[in-house]
Amino acid sequence: MTFHENLTPEGFGDRQRTRSALCGAAVLGFAFGAFFDGILLHQVLQWHHFLSLVPGKDLQTQILADGLFHVAVYVMALRGLILLWRTGTVYAADRAVLAWAILGFGIWQFSDVMLVHWMTGIHRIRVDVPNPTLWDLGWLVVFGVPSLAMGIWLLRSPNKRGGERRTRTSSGAASALSIAVVSAGLASIYPAAGATTAVLFRPGTGATEAIAAATSVDARLIWSSPGGEIILIQMPTSSSRIPLYRSGAILVTSTSWMGCIGRVST
């Protein structure tokens, strides 16, 4: 694309749509970082939850906060998808899309550690260790710094086909990125086989109704709060969650809470 072509309305519009796509890639990378955090640290490793270090927060509040966190990430991911794909037939170069997605992933890591861990102090990478700052720094060394370095390298590296700012009709990177983020979002909803599901019921739901709801989806009851407002169950992988909502559930969240009940409820 020449300088004169850039001055035309068509060229200007193409550049605007390309910038929109790159912004969408960065937002999707940021959302992917949040999903990665939630799946690995909340569900798999069980190192922390969103309000782990906030005094006085009971299990019900912890579950609700984790659910709201994921809802916010879903909204963010949807916004990123819209920005990425509203460009029509004009696509940003695959290398640039990948670069900005990786940068977005790295920006999430630093934002989470610096703003949420250090400034607000509502949780840390690990909340049950003598020196949590070392774990925060280690997380940045392993995931934050390399992703920022890789994204910057991809942006600065020469493109043999004429530079990163040229648009072309290729959506390979955008498609792969979209699939990765959507898959991560689904993984944060549906646990692996054997994972624990936490169910938060609306106020007034008794233990009898909660247990009946678990039975309706062939789930095994693991734990229940005294009043039945919260239950932890192990669901068959083929079971639907719709009957739980019909029975009064307001949040069904996939998370491995077994290792965290003691920390959260004390």
Higher pLDDT, 29 or 258: 29
**Which pLDDT value is given to residue 264?**
41
Q: Structure pTM?
A: 0.75
> pLDDT tens for residues 68-125?
888 899 999 999 999 988 866 556 788 889 999 999 999 999 999 999 999 999 999 9
**Which pLDDT value is given to residue 255?**
53
Query: What whole-number distance in Å separates Cα of residue 165 and Cα of residue 171?
Result: 15
Tokens at residue 70, please? 């994921």
**Which pLDDT value is given to residue 195?**
60
Give 199's contacts (C-beta < 8 A, 6+ positions apart).
210, 213, 214, 230, 231, 232, 233, 244, 249, 251, 252
Compute how many other C-beta atoms are within 10 angstroms of the C-beta atom of residue 89: 9
Whether the Cβ atoms of residue 140 and residue 117 lie closer than 8 Å to each other:
no
> pLDDT tens for residues 12-59?
456 777 888 899 999 999 999 999 998 888 777 778 878 889 988 777
Task: Report residue 257's pLDDT band, with 50, 70 and 90 as the boundaries.
Answer: very low
Instruction: Tell whether the model's pLDDT for residue 246 goes beyond 60.
Output: yes
What are the domain boundaries of the chain?
3-189, 197-265
